[in-house]
Amino acid sequence: DFDLMRNFIRSEEYRLSEELHQKLLSLRVFHQVDNAIVCLLQQPMAKPYLPSRSWEPFRHCC
């Protein structure tokens, strides 16, 4: 969970300098995750799942 990691970095418990906070939080991985989340949130709502009839033999075999 990247929010948890951000909280650890900002935590007073680890006594990291402000400069180190900034360097860690500016790592590319945090920006990539943020961008991926924004992208996912902009996706249209999924259509309801309609099971394919081709799967019927597999559902009733057991």
Confidence of residue 28 (pLDDT cuts 50, 70, 90): very high
* pLDDT above 90 (res 53): no
- Nearest to 25, CA basis, from 5, 55, 49: 5
What is residue 14's predicted lDDT score, i.e. its pLDDT? 84
State the Cα–Cα distance between residues 59 and 61, nearest whole angstrom: 6
What is residue 46's predicted lDDT score, i.e. its pLDDT? 74
Q: What is the pLDDT of residues 11-24, one digit of tens each?
A: 888 889 999 999 99
Q: What is the pTM of this model?
A: 0.56
Tokens representing 14 are 């680890």
Q: What is the mean pLDDT of residues 30-54?
A: 81
State the Cα–Cα distance between residues 3 and 30, nearest whole angstrom: 9
